[in-house]
């Protein structure tokens, strides 16, 4: 027998030398009040490489390497790659990325002049969803969560002259994520909010909380936190217009608490959105903010603003850009969306289902719109997973850290439309405790959607979550997802909880200018008729303290696919995504006019 000799040549495609993912490293504590700090914008066109197999980690994209000779093999080049605008989602910037979910790498080059005595931070308003950040080839850290800000101290990484930042953003959905796999909104990927270099002194005022003391209309209480030193520091709180100037001394951990009288404050309200100039100075730093002072509380089934009952005339809003589509991020977007809410007659907005842009909340502060702010604990989360709980807590902490001095925010929402089970109740018990520990001055709520039927005509709002929150939230869709519109005419509502109720959602889909009979689905007439019946039903409920129907503007959703009607849009908006008012807009507007007139003091 003859045995043939076989020569096996080396593969022309050798196995790559794999680079392991860096060990997770969290960002530093958030620098407060970035809009009023010294900043250098890194917004603009960033070079981007789509990386569906995440080969960029193994190819060390973060080094931004350049070939040194003709023989060197390099299979990427940021400078030859197309650009993406930052801030902005990638889905609406390229047709090929409309449905894309996965890793994408960004690179941006910039000049920087280092300054003595200055501590620079690299700050991201938000990036969806998991982000790794590298500066000049060095791994700074990572962040999980698509809607909250994060920053890294880059004192030792920035250099004089040319610098480059490389960011890997991955919007892949995960079963143990927050939110989880399924949502009714678009999973916009990318660096969706501003990127900035924030400059603070070596020792700086990292954060502060300056609000009315809980239960008081004439006393200010809070704390200040100094970073960058271990010694005690004196910090002065100065509110010139109110003739207030107080000094607090920090402890060994850099934190100092205070409470002092504040007589004759002009209290913030929707009718009078008064903001005071507040200056905190000391420890070699000075920070200026604009802060409104108001109290928010409950008494039985009433919500009290500055000690007086208020009815919240609201609307729910998604962070979707009018006209151009995609993630909203600009002051023009804020002005348009909140302007429509004011036109409706609103004094309240529910910013669903995740923390919206800081500029939106600050605009609400100036415009006199009360705010419900929510984290994306949405539908069914992995309730028993400790990592999922930690993720939710962290997003809650980052949300509160960013906005805890905004008078407009009166409600922290723990979640939306979650199923009743023991794991979920334990989950919310812990997130509620986290929120109250960070901010005892505001109210907690959640949008529930499970009720018990009592006979044919009575619905009982008895979700166990009602024991945890201060204000009940309820999403219900009689006339759209269940029963017919006229079912509202004989439906009664009750609850065992002596707490106020906000109807956080109701509504019906109707593309703008689609007309027909009032009993024909998908028409403006059907949507308007549903609003008339819903408003009549809820007007009979004595413990109703407000509402935020669903939703201000049509928004994109991958689960809404009906051709020529939805076309990947949820059409429950009172306004189309092109700014056109539907008939139901005017129904709600008239209702709010009547509510406002009834609440106005007699002349």
Separation CA 497–CA 467 (nearest Å): 7
User: What band does 363 get if pLDDT is binned at 50, 70 and 90?
Assistant: very high
Check residue 142 and give its pLDDT.
98
* Domain co-membership, 197 together with 105: yes
pLDDT in tens, 214-227: 999 999 999 999 99
Q: What would the DSSP string read from start to end of 180-208? A: -S--SS----B--S-EEEEEEESSEEEEE
Separation CA 151–CA 200 (nearest Å): 13
Residue 163 lies in a domain: yes
Q: Which residues, 6 or more positions from 485, have their beta carbon under 8 angstroms from its beta carbon?
A: 478, 479, 519, 526, 529, 530, 533
565 closest CA partner among 520, 506, 518, 502: 520
Report the share of the chain in percent with pLDDT over 70. 97
Domain interval for residue 115: 34-201
**Collapsed DSSP state (helix, strand, coil) of residue 531:** helix
Q: Please compute the mean of the pLDDT values over residues 286-293 and round it to a whole number.
A: 98
DSSP state of 465: G
Separation CA 421–CA 424 (nearest Å): 5
Separation CA 195–CA 86 (nearest Å): 8
Say if residues 219 and 142 touch (Cβ distance below 8 Å): no
Q: Which residues, 6 or more positions from 17, have their beta carbon under 8 angstroms from its beta carbon?
A: 58
Q: Dihedrals φ, ψ of 53, to 5°?
A: -100, 5
* Domain co-membership, 217 together with 195: no
Q: How many CB atoms lie under 10 A from the CB of residue 565?
A: 15
The last residue of a domain, from among 231, 265, 294: 294
Say if residues 365 and 275 touch (Cβ distance below 8 Å): yes
Residue 2 lies in a domain: no
* Domain co-membership, 117 together with 197: yes
* Domain co-membership, 422 together with 519: yes
Separation CA 356–CA 310 (nearest Å): 24
Q: How many domains does the chain have?
A: 3
pLDDT in tens, 163-203: 999 999 999 999 999 999 999 999 999 999 999 999 999 99
* Domain co-membership, 541 together with 582: yes
Residue 3 lies in a domain: no
Query: What Rg value do the Cα atoms of the chain yield, rounded?
Result: 26
469 closest CA partner among 459, 461, 457, 478: 461
Residue ranges with strand state E in 369-482: 370-374, 409-416, 443-448, 452-454, 458-460, 471-475
Q: What is the CATH number of the domain that holds 333?
A: 3.20.20.80
- Residue 603 reports pLDDT greater than 60: no
pLDDT in tens, 490-523: 999 999 999 999 999 999 999 999 999 999 999 9
Residue 26 lies in a domain: no
Q: What is the CATH number of the domain that holds 121?
A: 2.60.120.260
**Collapsed DSSP state (helix, strand, coil) of residue 389:** helix
Separation CA 306–CA 296 (nearest Å): 6
Report the share of the chain in percent with pLDDT over 90. 95
* Domain co-membership, 290 together with 302: no
- The whole-angstrom distance between residue 221's C-alpha and the CA centroid of its chain comes to 26
Residue 9 lies in a domain: no
* Domain co-membership, 289 together with 346: no
Separation CA 584–CA 574 (nearest Å): 6
**Collapsed DSSP state (helix, strand, coil) of residue 306:** coil
Residue 160 lies in a domain: yes
* Domain co-membership, 551 together with 565: yes
Q: Which residues, 6 or more positions from 558, have their beta carbon under 8 angstroms from its beta carbon?
A: 99, 186, 187, 568
**Collapsed DSSP state (helix, strand, coil) of residue 126:** coil
**Collapsed DSSP state (helix, strand, coil) of residue 494:** strand
Q: What is the CATH number of the domain that holds 252?
A: 2.60.40.10
Handedness of CA 229, 230, 233, 237 (dihedral sign): positive
Q: Buried b vs exposed e over 539-563: b needs ≥16 C-beta within 10 Å?
A: eebebbbbbbbbbbbbbbbeebeee
Residue 6 lies in a domain: no
Say if residues 350 and 504 touch (Cβ distance below 8 Å): yes
Among all chains, which residue has been given the structure tokens 């001095």?
405
Q: Dihedrals φ, ψ of 464, to 5°?
A: -55, -25
pLDDT in tens, 34-62: 999 999 999 999 999 999 999 999 999 99
- Residue 601 reports pLDDT greater than 80: no
Check residue 18 and give its pLDDT.
60
DSSP bridge pairs for 38: 199
Residue 11 lies in a domain: no
Question: Which strands sit side by side in the sheet containing 244-249, from one edge to the other?
Answer: 244-249, 234-239, 276-282, 285-291
Q: Please compute the mean of the pLDDT values over residues 70-93 and round it to a whole number.
A: 96
pLDDT in tens, 134-155: 999 999 999 999 999 999 999 9
The last residue of a domain, from among 186, 201, 216: 201
pLDDT in tens, 449-488: 999 999 999 999 999 999 999 999 999 999 999 999 999 9
Structural tokens at position 382? 């992995």
474 closest CA partner among 450, 444, 447, 445: 447
The last residue of a domain, from among 178, 201, 224: 201
Say if residues 47 and 107 touch (Cβ distance below 8 Å): yes
* Domain co-membership, 248 together with 192: no
* Domain co-membership, 289 together with 306: no
* Domain co-membership, 526 together with 390: yes
Q: Which residues, 6 or more positions from 306, have their beta carbon under 8 angstroms from its beta carbon?
A: 217, 267, 269, 294, 295
DSSP state of 29: P
* Domain co-membership, 487 together with 453: yes
Q: Measuring CA to CA, how many Å separate 592 from each of 162, 475, 525, 545, 588?
A: 56, 19, 20, 13, 6
Separation CA 448–CA 450 (nearest Å): 6
Check residue 6 and give its pLDDT.
35
pLDDT in tens, 539-573: 999 999 999 999 999 999 999 999 999 999 999 99
Say if residues 365 and 270 touch (Cβ distance below 8 Å): no
Q: Specify burial of residue 276 (Cβ count, 10 A radius: 0-12, 13-18, 19+).
A: buried
């Amino acid at each position: 027998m003859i045995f043939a000799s076989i020569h096996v040549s080396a593969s022309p495609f050798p196995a790559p030398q794999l680079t392991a993912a860096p060990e997770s490293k969290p960002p530093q504590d958030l620098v407060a009040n970035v809009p009023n700090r010294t900043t250098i914008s890194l917004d603009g066109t960033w070079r981007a490489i789509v990386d569906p197999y995440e080969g960029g980690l193994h190819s060390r994209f973060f080094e931004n390497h350049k070939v040194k000779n003709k023989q060197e093999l390099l299979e990427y080049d940021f400078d030859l790659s197309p650009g993406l605008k930052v801030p902005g989602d990638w889905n609406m910037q390229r047709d090929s990325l409309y449905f894309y979910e996965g890793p994408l790498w960004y690179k941006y080059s910039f000049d920087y002049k280092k300054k003595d005595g200055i501590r620079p931070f690299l700050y991201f308003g938000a990036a969806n969803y998991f982000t790794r950040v590298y500066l000049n080839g060095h791994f700074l850290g990572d962040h999980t969560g698509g809607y909250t800000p994060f920053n890294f101290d880059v004192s030792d990484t920035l250099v004089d002259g040319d610098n480059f930042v490389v960011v890997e953003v991955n919007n892949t959905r995960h079963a143990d994520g927050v939110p989880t796999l399924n949502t009714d909104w678009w999973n916009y990927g990318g660096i969706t909010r501003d990127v900035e270099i924030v400059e603070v002194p070596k020792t700086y005022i990292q954060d502060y909380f300056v609000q009315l003391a809980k239960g008081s209309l004439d006393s200010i209480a809070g704390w200040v936190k100094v970073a960058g030193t271990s010694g005690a520091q004196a910090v002065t709180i100065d509110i010139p217009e109110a003739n207030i100037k107080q000094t607090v001394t920090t402890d060994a951990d850099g934190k100092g608490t205070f409470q002092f009288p504040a007589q004759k404050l002009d209290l913030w309200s929707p009718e009078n959105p008064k903001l005071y100039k507040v200056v905190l100075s000391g420890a070699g730093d000075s920070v200026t903010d604009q802060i409104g002072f108001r109290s928010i509380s409950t008494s039985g089934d009433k919500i009290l603003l500055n000690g007086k009952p208020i009815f919240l005339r609201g609307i729910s809003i998604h962070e979707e850009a009018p006209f151009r589509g995609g993630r909203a991020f600009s002051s023009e977007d804020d002005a348009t969306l909140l302007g429509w809410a004011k036109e409706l007659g609103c004094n309240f907005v529910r910013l669903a289902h995740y923390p919206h842009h800081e500029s939106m909340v600050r605009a609400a502060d100036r415009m006199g719109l009360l705010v419900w702010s929510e984290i994306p604990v949405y539908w069914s989360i992995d309730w028993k997973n400790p990592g999922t709980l930690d993720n939710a807590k962290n997003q809650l902490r980052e949300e509160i850290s960013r906005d805890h001095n905004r008078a407009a925010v009166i409600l922290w929402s723990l979640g939306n439309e979650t199923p009743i089970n023991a794991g979920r109740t334990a989950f919310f018990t812990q997130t509620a405790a986290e929120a109250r520990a960070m901010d005892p001055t505001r109210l907690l709520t959640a949008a529930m959607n499970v009720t018990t039927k009592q006979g044919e005509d009575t619905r009982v709002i008895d979700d166990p979550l009602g024991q945890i929150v201060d204000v009940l939230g309820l999403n219900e869709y009689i006339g759209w997802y269940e029963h017919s519109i006229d079912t509202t005419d004989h439906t009664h509502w009750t609850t065992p909880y002596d707490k106020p109720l906000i109807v956080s959602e109701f509504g019906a889909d109707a593309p703008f200018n689609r007309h027909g009979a009032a009993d024909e689905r998908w028409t403006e007439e059907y949507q308007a008729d549903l609003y008339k019946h819903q408003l009549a039903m809820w007007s009979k409920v004595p413990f109703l303290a407000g509402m935020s129907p669903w939703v201000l503007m049509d928004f994109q959703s991958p689960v809404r696919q009906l051709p020529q009607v939805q076309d990947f849009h949820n059409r429950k908006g009172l306004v189309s995504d092109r700014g056109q008012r539907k008939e139901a807009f005017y129904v709600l507007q008239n209702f709010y006019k009547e509510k406002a007139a009834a609440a106005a003091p007699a002349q």
